[in-house]
Amino acid sequence: MSLKTTLMMQHIAAFSIGDSGGNPAGVVLCETLPDPAEMQAVAAEAGYSESVFAAPAEGAWRARYFAPKFEVDFCGHATIALGAALARQSGPGVFDLVLNRAHITVEGEWSPTHCAATFRSPPTRSGGVSVAVLDEVLALFGLSHDQLDSRLPPAIANAGGDHLILALRDRAALRDMRYDFSAGRALAEREGLVTFNLVHVETPSLFHARNPFPLGGVYEDPATGSAAAALAGYLRDRDWPHSGHIVILQGEDMGAHCRIEAAISPTCGGGVRVSGAARFLRAPAA
């Protein structure tokens, strides 16, 4: 696992479609992890919704994730980007990752013409939303109760962090999503919400999603692997007719098309396998 360089950032778009789209993440492979303040500064300078820093640690990789303003315990799209970077460096394979609060794996694929990755998320769980919080969230997005899809009641779902799921009946309501950033950030901070996960069900296995991330200082993420895993875990908890596999299309309404796939095991509370393609925007010279 020896590295030629330290603190050199690779720029990788995760959940891309062909040669376009995807959510950019910074990936830094190190011999040893720098001081957290240095990682935070590098992530802030990069300006991505998250950057991941990883270093070898007893046969695994110790991984830490930083949004521009603070550290997060887990980030799905940065994990996909990390899997692609590790596969590019070491060859395709499964890599063990030690996170702040979980141990997971990422399987990376790489060739000159294709790269992708699949991670198994931390354990999942879901629960309801209080009436007061739901009313506040609906007001934030200018929505009413009758715009909600009754098949998927609002929920707080977790796959390494809490995401508030709001299923909308009409695709147009999702397309027209707007909210006040300052108010959204205050609400997210107070309730500990990593993202607001607004979704529309096209078919039982095909979803459209938008993910405001005001907690991290980002108005909207074009692809959010942790929210996808949380949604998939919630679907399993609801006995949703997903046949074990769903596709989430995200970023469409912000001009950054992304495709996320999730394989849902029947094990209650188990991690979810989330997959996506990746494309290198910039990478260190070989």
pLDDT tens per residue across span 84-110: 999 999 999 999 999 999 999 999 999
Overall number of domains in the chain: 2
Instruction: Give the range of the structural domain holding residue 263, as residue numbers without chain letter.
Output: 125-270
CA 161 to CA 133: how far, in whole Å? 18
Contacting residues for 25 by C-beta, under 8 A, at least 6 apart: 11, 12, 13, 14, 48, 49, 50, 51, 52, 75, 77, 78, 80, 81, 82
Domain assignment present for residue 58? The answer is yes
Token readout for 27 is 């990936």
Going by pLDDT thresholds of 50, 70 and 90, the confidence category of residue 285 is very low
pLDDT at 5: 38
Q: What is the pLDDT of residue 283?
A: 53
Both 25 and 160 in a single domain? no
pLDDT (average), residues 210-217: 93
In a domain, 39, yes or no: yes
Which pLDDT score is estimated for 265? 84
Q: Per-residue b/e over 89-126, b at no fewer than 16 CB within 10 Å?
A: beebeebebebeebebbbbbbbeeeebbbbbbbbbbbb
Interatomic CA distance for residues 27 and 124, integer angstroms: 25
3-state SS of the chain: helix, strand, coil percent to 5? 25, 40, 35
pLDDT at 286 > cutoff 80: no
The verdict on residue 170 lying in a domain is: yes
Tell me, yes or no, whether 57 and 96 share the same domain: yes
Q: Evaluate if residue 4 carries a pLDDT over 60.
A: no
Has residue 62 got a pLDDT over 80? yes
Residues 99 and 129 placed together within one structural domain of the fold: no
Give the H/E segment covering residue 110. strand 103-111
Residue bearing tokens 């990069």: 46
Q: Are residues 187 and 235 both part of a single domain?
A: yes
Residues 147 and 265 in one domain: yes
Q: State mean pLDDT over 248-276.
A: 94
Q: Give the mean model confidence (pLDDT) for residues 20-47.
A: 95
Question: Are both 107 and 132 inside the same structural domain?
Answer: no
CA–CA distance, 37 with 40 (Å, rounded to integer)? 5
> Are residues 41 and 79 both part of a single domain?
yes
Contact in structure between 165 and 196 (CB atoms under 8 Å): no
Categorize the per-residue pLDDT at 243 as very low, low, confident or very high, splitting at 50, 70 and 90.
confident
Is 1 a domain residue? no
Is pLDDT above 80 for 60?
yes
Whether residues 134 and 265 fall in one domain: yes
- Residue 209 placed within a domain: yes
Indicate which CATH number applies to the domain containing 227.
Answer: 3.10.310.10
- In this predicted model, what pLDDT tens digit does every residue of 149-177 receive, in sequence order? 999 999 999 998 999 999 999 999 999 99
Query: Cα 227 vs. chain centroid, distance in angstroms?
Result: 5
Same domain flag for 46 and 101:
yes
Contacts of 41 (CB under 8 A, 6+ apart): none
Mind listing the pLDDT tens digit for each residue in 116-141?
Answer: 999 999 999 999 999 999 999 999 99
Residues 133 and 113 in one domain: no
Question: CB count, 10 Å around CB of 211?
Answer: 25
